[in-house]
């Protein structure tokens, strides 16, 4: 090979190596996007996060939405945590309603949760329960609740709560189109009495940064209760004019808050 050609090949190889090294260093300096994990609440399921999920996936985020058993915060948290164990890298854990009582302890079990996002959700302190918050900040939601028994493994009976389908839109999703609400009401998942009575453990919002979205027209968890919990947790808070189903009626605002946490 001609000496000049040999020099060009050597120069080209060195340049390619330098570019590859620079790209590797740049990649190392650029943190990977966190995984966004959703925890749904009572009387709902993970499909409600569909519009928010699409917006996040369009921005390159990985999203996981495990089913919440709705049997009790401790056991539900263990189940959700097991579903999140395969996730590598940071997680932003987003919870709606009763899902907040599950996400808070699940964050401790997972270990790589870097931010908590509460959407009209329970951010309980140690010893508190869902019922405890409702008693402290009462509203009319109890009017819409109905009960039914279900069998427990030991042969005894438990009690489930569900929302009267005829009143589902009034209390849960007043700002969601009627046809969509009818589907939600028919597919709602009940929560057990023991789950809403179970006291919470030491909260992870004391050590993990949190964000909170308050729905001013919420008829399930009163706005006053949400403001109280958000302030106590030191959450970065936004308020919007939404029902309890803020993640369905206002997916852009919810996505925006999640992106803030993700950054």
Quick check: is 105 in a domain?
A: yes
Q: What's the CATH code of the domain at 80?
A: 3.40.50.1820
79 is in which domain, residue-wise?
Answer: 35-262
Quick check: is 49 in a domain?
A: yes
**Tens of pLDDT along 209-256?**
999 999 999 999 999 999 999 999 999 999 999 999 999 999 999 999
Quick check: is 1 in a domain?
A: no
Quote the number of domains for the chain.
1
Quick check: is 20 in a domain?
A: no
pTM: predicted TM-score of the whole model, two decimal places = 0.88
**Tens of pLDDT along 132-141?**
999 999 999 9
DSSP the chain: --HHHHHHHHHHHHHHHHHHHHHHHHHHHSPPPPEEEEE--TT--GGGGHHHHHHHHHTT--EE-PPP--S-HHHHHHHHHHHHTT--S-EEEEEETTHHHHHHHHHHHHS-EEEEEEES---PPTT--HHHHHHHS--SGGGGEEEEEEE-TTS-EEEEEEE-GGGHHHHT-TTS-HHHHHHHHHH---EEHHHHHPPP-S-GGGTS-EEEEEETT-SSS-HHHHHHHHHHHT-EEEEES--TTHHHH-HHHHHHHHHHHH-
Quick check: is 148 in a domain?
A: yes
């Amino acid at each position: 090979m001609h000496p000049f050609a040999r020099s060009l090949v050597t120069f080209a190889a060195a340049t390619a190596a330098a570019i590859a090294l620079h790209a590797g260093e740049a990649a190392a300096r650029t943190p990977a996007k966190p995984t966004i994990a959703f925890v749904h609440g009572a009387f709902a399921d993970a499909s409600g996060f569909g519009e928010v999920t699409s917006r996040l996936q369009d921005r390159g985020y990985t999203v996981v939405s495990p089913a919440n058993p709705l049997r009790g915060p401790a056991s539900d948290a263990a189940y959700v945590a097991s579903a999140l164990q395969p996730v590598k890298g940071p997680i932003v854990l987003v919870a709606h309603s009763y899902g907040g009582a599950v996400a808070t302890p699940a964050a401790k079990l997972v270990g790589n949760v870097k931010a908590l996002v509460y959407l009209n959700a329970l951010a309980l302190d140690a010893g508190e329960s869902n019922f405890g918050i409702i008693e402290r900040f009462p509203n009319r939601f109890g009017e819409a609740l109905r009960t039914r028994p279900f069998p427990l493994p030991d042969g005894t009976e438990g009690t489930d709560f569900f929302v009267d389908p005829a009143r589902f839109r009034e209390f849960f999703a007043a700002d969601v189109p009627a046809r969509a609400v009818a589907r939600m009401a028919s597919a709602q998942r009940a929560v057990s009495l023991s789950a809403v009575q179970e006291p919470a453990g030491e909260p992870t919002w004391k050590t993990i940064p949190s964000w909170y979205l308050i729905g001013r027209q919420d008829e399930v968890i009163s706005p006053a209760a949400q403001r109280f919990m958000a302030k106590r947790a030191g959450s970065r808070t936004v308020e919007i004019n939404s029902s309890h189903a803020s993640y369905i009626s206002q997916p852009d605002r919810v996505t925006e808050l999640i992106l803030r946490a993700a950054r």
